[in-house]
Amino acid sequence: MSKIESTIRKSLEDKIAEFNTLEYSSNPNFKRIMDIFDSILNDRTVPKNIRSVVENSKNILISKEDNLEVKISSVINNLDSIMSDANMPLYTRTQIWNLVSLLEEERNKFLKNK
């Protein structure tokens, strides 16, 4: 493993550890959301362009930069952009629909508590 790969892996592990300590990490929906992201990312039948958007979306969600509403809206927008991809396996499309539903549910909860 090269030094760059090692640095990237360490950075990702740090982000995952950081995500697990966030206040919403105990929320079962966020655990399901992360599990769905991981499932899509680990599925080798999913084309690279779709996995890339999913990985980017996951990184947005676990970042500290914006508030939760902005992050969720960005992720939903990213996922919407790949929904019409003809190369997407049907099972993956269903997973993404489920992901968007869970994210919308969390955004609605966030807005109610605002």
Tens of pLDDT along the chain (114 residues) come to 677 767 776 676 666 555 544 445 567 888 899 999 999 999 999 999 999 999 999 999 888 777 888 889 999 999 999 999 999 999 999 999 999 999 999 888 878 876
End-to-end CA distance of the chain: 45
Q: Options 3.50.50.60, 3.40.50.1100, 2.40.128.90, 1.20.1440.50; which CATH number does 27-113 get?
A: 1.20.1440.50
Predicted structure pTM score: 0.75
3-class SS letters over the chain: CCHHHHHHHHHHHHHHHHHHHCHHHHCHHHHHHHHHHHHHHHCCCCCHHHHHHHHHHHHHHHCCCCCHHHHHHHHHHHHHHHCCCCCCCHHHHHHHHHHHHHHHHHHHHHHHHC
